[in-house]
């Protein structure tokens, strides 16, 4: 694993800690403790009558973000699924609304931004090293004038 990947993992764990509500700066293993707190919160919400799981349908075109989202669901003990004939871009899950609104979705959004940035930087670096150093967008030109027909 290179330094960039280790830094990405560190940042993802930090995001998880923030969403779990870490309050003590000296936690030995912030990521493990954060995960435990989030799972405890989810268990409590499932037990409350007002927090019954709702079937959600999430649609994600980007395969990397979809993979990240499924991993987050599984991390919290939530089974991602889709029905027969649903598109691969669909991820279904039964989750309490409060958990989606306050933990799962905000955490996913932060992590997906971080992952997107990492993948973009890695792609640029690899293209520059292996193909050509200039991978910038194509220049924009004025369209050529059309020849008038008589």
Of the candidate ranges 48-57, 62-71, 84-93, the one whose mean pLDDT is the lowest: 48-57
**Residue-wise pLDDT tens digits, 16-36:** 666 665 555 565 566 667 667
Per DSSP, which regions of the chain are E strands? 53-59, 90-96
Whether the Cβ atoms of residue 107 and residue 15 lie closer than 8 Å to each other: yes
- Name which residue leads in pLDDT, 82 or 34: 82
The count of residues in the chain is 150
Taking 90 as the threshold, does the pLDDT of residue 88 lie above it? Answer: yes
**Per-residue burial over 36-71, b = 16 or more CB atoms within 10 Å of its CB, e = otherwise:** ebbeebbeebeeeeebebeebebebeeeebbebbbe
Distance in angstroms (rounded) separating the CA atoms of residues 114 and 94: 26
Angle 69-75-76 (CA atoms, 0-180°, nearest 5)?
100
Angle, helix 3-20 to helix 105-130, in steps of 10 degrees: 170
């Amino acid at each position: 694993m290179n330094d960039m990947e280790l830094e990405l993992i560190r940042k993802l764990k930090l995001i998880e800690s923030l969403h779990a509500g870490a309050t003590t700066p000296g936690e030995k293993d912030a990521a493990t403790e954060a995960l435990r707190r989030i799972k405890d919160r989810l268990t409590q919400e499932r037990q409350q009558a007002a927090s019954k799981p709702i079937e959600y349908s999430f649609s994600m075109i980007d395969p990397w973000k979809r993979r990240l989202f499924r991993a987050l669901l599984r991390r919290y003990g939530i089974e991602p699924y889709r029905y027969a004939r649903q598109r691969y871009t669909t991820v279904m899950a039964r989750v309490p609304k409060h958990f989606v609104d306050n933990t799962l979705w905000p955490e996913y959004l932060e992590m997906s931004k971080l992952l997107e940035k990492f993948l973009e930087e890695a792609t640029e670096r690899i293209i520059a090293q292996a193909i050509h150093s200039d991978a910038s967008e194509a220049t924009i030109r004025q369209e050529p004038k059309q020849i008038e027909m008589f």
